[in-house]
Structure 1
């Protein structure tokens, strides 16, 4: 994914969040809206939303001074949400065809196309577009309406002077008639009001602030975390040392582990003594290849030409008892005897006579 697509997607997400917040605030604090519909000759008709088709006042011109509008019309506009519907003759309409997937990023795309579609830059123009219509080849088409910002600025200034709470400028597509959907080209919130653009800036500032705080927290953790870990390790070593001192004091200088080793020493036969005794019992032509001692149990693996007689020799010894084969005796080619596996019990202690 290219950087430009990421930026466009992020911009579209910001617009969506800002619009949602503004809509939620508008539902919490509803204000009666009025429409100013431009007619022939530049005169405007004032119409309250939901009041029917008949204008509430005679047509008037917005380019007159605010003083000339004082009275019933000024009272209707003060503190109201005003929709200024301008004639299509003020606007330049251009069709635009795009891939269907571009519908999520229309604001950024149209903004970058204004220089090509109109004689004005994006900063010099106000613009909007019709809802995109689908085409058969996985593409969409829409109509962009744009005009110079300076052309509608006098109307905006007059409405601001009359105390309009918010101003939305819109028009209708040329030839669309009264049934055509309005195209919103500009939205302005009076001072102290949160418009989409203002909320967008606040959301962006909030995200930047959170990112900065998270970065600072990470850096601080890396700088001071090492010192804290070292102090914690030193504290743990001190605690372990104190516990060891207390344990030795309670046990009179002997730990339970040392006592267990001492008991095992006296309870088990020493391996070297068992091996020495075994060498005296077994014949000279018998070889021991493996020996395992577990408690008083001895396991011996080796090679002998007289393997069956070894059981009797061990039983006759005063140091071993319960001798038996724990695996079959097998003949090994090129070996001087059979491989045996004998298991016996050791009589403790084992003593070797010099």
Structure 2
């Protein structure tokens, strides 16, 4: 792969990923509005477990909120790391992949900005924030993490929000004190006025924005699609089996009809008789051998063991004798008068003869040869 194509392809994947996320959010929003309220209550009955953790003296306090109830543990700093955290998850009956991990960071490490965002612009808020950072702050997007949270009720179509900005090196330093890295956590939180942790910056936005009811809906749709495919395959196989049975029945009927239409000869006698008969190809081969070069045919008819010929010849009268001398033919006679043809400068003739050993009532075979 050419190195020069890598940036272009990476940009294309970024655009495709952004488009996919936007389409998913639009689809989920429409699905949420279309689903009855009772169904939404059932689907949202299961919330995603969340763990908040913070430094507490010489230990790290971990607090878990899940459907089975809250749980808390304090682990000494010297023993705390990602492995110890996963071990505690296992004891609480949850998994690391299915749990949001949010370390509590001090307010002092954040740069806060107050914003008033029109409700109609909420969907485009990420792009608005990026442009605001580039134009109105000294930060570079590659050096920070940022997000906005609502801090009040909507008033006059405007939502008051707080823009949280923090440098990545500060986050890494704070997490290193806990024995973690940014890859071990899902979001950053701060301590609220009531002492509860408030998530403010989410790293894994795709997983965090997919609620439990959306996951259930996707699973139900996947199961429905699988069931539809299996049902379609079953119907296709049943239809093919029905067609095959119909063909077998038709073939059996044809065989029976053919068997009933045969004469009373036994198979050996019938085969011998068919072998003894003179075929069309044998007739043509013999005629091409015995007829002189000055003779050509315009019509040939074979029916019930009789061959009828019509054509032009320089010696039409001598054809009767030539045909009678053949071991395959007998009884050659002219069926009409010989008439001269001025255009061809030959005699027009029509004669008939029998095939030696031919059976009667054979299907007719007719061919024409253009003059």
Q: TM-score range by the shorter chain?
A: 0.3 to 0.5
Return the TM-score normalized by structure 1.
Answer: 0.37
Return the TM-score normalized by structure 2.
Answer: 0.35
